Structure formats: structure tokens, C-alpha cells
Amino acid sequence: MPAELKYVVIVAAVLVVVGIATYAVVQLFGNRAGPEGAVSAGKILQRVAGEDTCHRAPEYPYAIDEAHWIMQERIDCTIERCAAKRMAHSTLVEAGRIVPASERHVR
């Protein structure tokens, strides 16, 4: 293989690695807060509840696996008092993973 071609291959490989690393960093640490001026569901729930909560809800919606973890981690909290658990519960209801007791008899 000619020396010039080796340098081209090395530069191309370095660029691919840098691109992958950049993508990974953006995915891990990117802005999950949503569009500018948006109000998070957690803040809306806190405002509606009008009470202090034991655990604050995040500024971004939970993913389904995060919501499951929060429901297990906050086992002693109630969804009426805990904003984090309330948001996790809402996420799981919307995803069809939990059916609230008031809706079970309807199905």
C-alpha cells in the first residue's frame, strides 16, 4: 500500500472515531429540557397540586424505564405527595403500562 494511501486511511479512521465520540457525548449530555419557553410537566403538576413535594419531578419527561425505576425507588411515597412518582405514574399510564384502579372495571 502506498504511503499516501496509508495516511488517507488513518485520517479517515480518526475522523470516524471523532464523529462517533461526538455523537455519544451529545446523546449522553445533550439538552433534554425541551424547546425554549416550554413548561415541564413536573412544574405544571407542582403548580396544580399547590403543595410541597417530597421528591421533585425532573425538568424533562421520564423515559418508560426511568418511570419504572422511580415507581420502585419511591415505593413509600404517594403519587399525591411526590412529584417524581406522580410524573412516573403518568408516564406509565400514558404508555399503557399501568391501568389506574378507577379504569380497571371499565375494560
* 51 shares its domain with 97: yes
In a shared domain, residues 20 and 55: no
> Which residues does 16 contact at the CB level (< 8 Å), separation at least 6?
none
The dihedral sign for the CA sequence 73, 95, 90, 35: positive
What's the CA gap between 80 and 49, in Å, rounded? Answer: 8
d(CA 57, CA 41): 8
Name the packing angle between helices 83-94 and 64-73 (round to 10°). Answer: 140
DSSP-derived secondary structure letter, 46: H
Answer for the pair 7, 13: CB distance below 8 angstroms, yes or no.
no
Determine the structural domain holding residue 14 and report its residue range. Answer: 1-30
Residues 60 and 44 in one domain: yes
Are 64 and 94 within one domain?
yes
* DSSP 8-state assignment for residue 42: H
Same domain? For 53 and 100 the reply is yes
Domain count for the chain, please give it.
2
Return phi, psi of residue 34, to 5°.
95, -175
Domain identity same for 57 and 88: yes
On whether the CB atoms of residues 74 and 82 are closer than 8 A, the answer is yes
- Pair 55, 74 in one domain: yes
Q: What is the pLDDT along the chain (107 residues), one digit of tens a residue?
A: 677 888 888 888 999 999 898 888 777 776 555 666 677 777 777 666 655 557 888 888 899 999 999 999 988 888 888 889 999 999 999 999 998 887 655 54
